[in-house]
A and B are shown apart, each in its own frame.
Chain A
């Protein structure tokens, strides 16, 4: 009774152990010899897994297998002994298939679902996660044979059969092998555990290397480009494999050549070092000059005969430092609502950014280029249709993966074109450049630029917003942004056909008023959805506004379809009067009082039914009025929360925030919306605070100028309207903001 009880039933362990030892072994020459009943043994283990583990919802067999060296010692050796020219041996190929039938469930992604999890899950999961990493290392780095390639050999006879003639068994084999590949790409060292093996053996680079060397990329390309013809239900799995291969890879770096890459990396390093230096410098300037027990104490005169005591030398620095010290010494924290339960498992599984080594970078680039050339349109159009008709093989996380991949490949395509253009430019000087390097056309990605896709995306935007599925929503928003950027580039490409298509797309995109509403709503209602979401929605709004502005300038008579209310004539005026009396900001002027804002729509619901009915009609698009919706307090707050992370923001993100505030203050003339103490404090802190922006960064100048202008306006406003001192504490309603800005009430219909 001294030994700790085994975590699995001893009989199960005994059964599995005897099965594994009956499978076969190495003879004196180091050759693997199959046991007499090897095929039956493999089938028995499979039965154990199915009828013990899966049926009873335990993970005991998987645990036992992980402790027996079955994969490493037996299965890989068996597969290695199945030679290329022995493909026709029926028995050997059946053994090989049985091996993959074991490995696929063994490498299946482990998820802890709190509702079905048994005690065994919590007991075995940590061990099994590590065991899977071990499987992946063994499979990718196995010297004796190409295990991934062998998997394809298993499926090849079934793939060769035309789609119509494939039996259920054939389809099952193809699926099995694809899932095996998916599992292998997907396995990563569990988060929060220090992996004690060689990371480079299981890293993304190693995976890509193995995929390229064992010609899996070719298979993926073939399947993707024949999607819809020779393959149907495999679309989601192929997409998943590609997703796990490219997620987190920086598209810009992917298309750099080696010298560019090394300069990019070097400049990244110098940037980081400069940042660190600045941090240390800032600390040293304010740091103590004497030892910690020097014991300085100061009185601060705060007026009205009041004094505060502060200790420490840093209190001598400046009054700003004293005030900050007073503030920091406070212990109280306002009560916060706890987080809503533990975070659900990230099904999309987007990890951090991945950096590849030069070799893998080249291999992946080649794959991505070939995929864009041949597989992009057929695969993604097929997947979109599958998702659209809610096909049974589509799972919930496939939508998010779809949107992620579309945005990733669009970004990759643009990066490629950029790289090629710069190559062409340098090629003009060197006539030796390959003339076959012509600029790729936007046709390659046309499959996601059609009307069906836009409708699909609009619906996804709505749906994930209503379901509060923020992760999916942020991926959809990123996809939308990438599409906008691609169309924008087409519009400016100089190619007449492309420009015409882009023009059409833009006019369709901006025609539906509902999209405008949706985007304005999303950014307005940000609350605790996380940084990634914040980044995605600000990026979308930035891009959307910018492109729409440019487009509406060139097309002065842009029409949009809006849903609006048609009312009986008499009551229309009355309702407008009511709305105005209630202090609701009806539309800008009398002529357009028939087009009330969404706000006004909600308010006079009392006599709704009799007098109002919805209809859609066209009206002229007014960009100024549209942009005004992005000046409301909710949107300003979102951007303020975004900018509050200025210390960690990239130049692009800083620019985005800068342009927005510039638009609010100077283009829309509503700088009053920014006059709130916390916002003013943010602007001040970015430039003159204790942790300002990096002085040497390129965005510093622009931000300094913007802050200065806004602060100047603020001071002037305070002198003009002393009541602003009070209003600076609060969020402003549109009417007070209007009064503070212009000094008179907004003219509404009723007051005339």
Chain B
């Protein structure tokens, strides 16, 4: 009798709770660093960076730092500048990232030699 009383309410039926996978957390990883928004974008920005040289050390540095900050803000908006820098630095220890770094350096070498 008790059962029949609650039957109509449907509270005895088992409700299936589906576990939805949590949205994966966005990370500042290699893929992001190597994407168009990543290092390539940084190089593009660096091309327009003006360095005045002697006598303007601090203002030059300010422009340099602000370039990095805005770049990181576009690349990975949620982290603060200092935190994002630490994340990028950490990514640099990975083998594949290492490979890319050596590639970039080697790329720059012939230009250096021609300049000399």
The 8 Å CB contact of A712, one of B57, B66, B82, B92, is: B57
Check A334–B61 contact: CB distance below 8 A: no
Residues in A whose Cβ lies below 8 Å from that of B85:
677-678, 681, 729
A-B interface, 4 closest residue pairs, ranked by CB to CB distance from nearest: A730-B92, A723-B108, A711-B57, A332-B78
Question: A741 on the interface (CB 8 Å rule)?
Answer: no
Residues in A whose Cβ lies below 8 Å from that of B58:
684, 687-688, 707-708, 711
Residues in A whose Cβ lies below 8 Å from that of B73:
326-327
Contacting chain B: which of A268-276, A370-378, A614-622, A713-721?
Answer: A713-721
The 8 Å CB contact of B57, one of A678, A715, A721, A722, is: A715
**Complex Cα gap A683–B65 (Å):** 11
Residues in A whose Cβ lies below 8 Å from that of B60:
711, 715
Question: A299 on the interface (CB 8 Å rule)?
Answer: no
Using CB atoms, name the residue of chain B closest to A308. Answer: B73
Closest approach, in angstroms, between the C-beta of B96 and any C-beta of chain A?
13
Check B101–A712 contact: CB distance below 8 A: no
Binary contact readout B28-60 vs A (1 if CB under 8 angstroms, 0 otherwise) = 000000000001001100100001011001101
Residues in A whose Cβ lies below 8 Å from that of B43:
722, 725-726
Q: List 19 A-B contacts (CB under 8 A).
A: A302-B70, A323-B66, A327-B81, A678-B85, A678-B89, A680-B61, A684-B61, A688-B58, A688-B62, A711-B61, A716-B53, A718-B51, A722-B46, A729-B85, A729-B88, A730-B92, A731-B93, A736-B105, A743-B112
Binary contact readout B66-89 vs A (1 if CB under 8 angstroms, 0 otherwise) = 101110011001111111011111
Residues in B whose Cβ lies below 8 Å from that of A677:
65, 68, 85
Residues in A whose Cβ lies below 8 Å from that of B108:
721-723
Residues in A whose Cβ lies below 8 Å from that of B77:
330
Question: A333 on the interface (CB 8 Å rule)?
Answer: yes
Check A333–B101 contact: CB distance below 8 A: no
Question: A727 on the interface (CB 8 Å rule)?
Answer: yes
**Complex Cα gap A120–B15 (Å):** 48
Q: Which residues 79-115 of B have a CB within 8 angstroms of A?
A: 79-83, 85-89, 92-93, 101-102, 104-105, 107-108, 112
Check A731–B89 contact: CB distance below 8 A: yes
**Complex Cα gap A729–B98 (Å):** 12
Q: Which residues 41-80 of A have a CB within 8 angstroms of B?
A: none
Kindly list 5 other residue pairs between chains A and B, CB separation below 8 angstroms, not including A676-B89, A687-B58, A723-B107: A306-B74, A684-B62, A684-B65, A727-B105, A729-B92
The 8 Å CB contact of A725, one of B42, B69, B87, is: B42
Question: A122 on the interface (CB 8 Å rule)?
Answer: no
**Complex Cα gap A328–B46 (Å):** 25
Check B92–A330 contact: CB distance below 8 A: no
Residues in A whose Cβ lies below 8 Å from that of B64:
680, 715, 718
**Complex Cα gap A720–B109 (Å):** 11
Closest approach, in angstroms, between the C-beta of A683 and any C-beta of chain B?
8
Q: Which residues 659-686 of A have a CB within 8 angstroms of B?
A: 676-678, 680-681, 683-684
Q: For chain A, what secondary structure do more than half of its interface residues adopt (helix, strand, loop), or is it mixed?
A: helix
Question: A303 on the interface (CB 8 Å rule)?
Answer: yes
Closest approach, in angstroms, between the C-beta of B77 and any C-beta of chain A?
8
Using CB atoms, name the residue of chain B closest to A704. Answer: B58
Residues in B whose Cβ lies below 8 Å from that of A680:
61, 64-65
Residues in B whose Cβ lies below 8 Å from that of A327:
69, 73, 80-81
Q: Taking each of A319, A328, A681, A727, which has the highest tally of chain B beta carbons within 10 Å of its own beta carbon?
A: A681
Question: A320 on the interface (CB 8 Å rule)?
Answer: yes
**Complex Cα gap A55–B74 (Å):** 67
**Complex Cα gap A725–B69 (Å):** 13
The 8 Å CB contact of A726, one of B42, B83, B89, is: B42
Q: Which residues 310-335 of A have a CB within 8 angstroms of B?
A: 319-320, 323, 326-328, 330, 332-334
**Complex Cα gap A543–B1 (Å):** 89
Closest approach, in angstroms, between the C-beta of B100 and any C-beta of chain A?
9
The 8 Å CB contact of A721, one of B80, B83, B112, is: B112
Query: Given A327-B69, A330-B80: A714 and B61 within 8 A (CB)?
Result: yes
Check B82–A323 contact: CB distance below 8 A: no
Question: A283 on the interface (CB 8 Å rule)?
Answer: no
Check B78–A730 contact: CB distance below 8 A: no
Question: A456 on the interface (CB 8 Å rule)?
Answer: no
Residues in B whose Cβ lies below 8 Å from that of A681:
65, 81-82, 85
Closest approach, in angstroms, between the C-beta of A148 and any C-beta of chain B?
54
Question: A739 on the interface (CB 8 Å rule)?
Answer: yes
**Complex Cα gap A413–B46 (Å):** 57
Residues in A whose Cβ lies below 8 Å from that of B89:
676, 678, 729-731
Check A727–B83 contact: CB distance below 8 A: no
Query: Given A677-B68, A684-B61, A711-B61: A334 and B79 within 8 A (CB)?
Result: yes
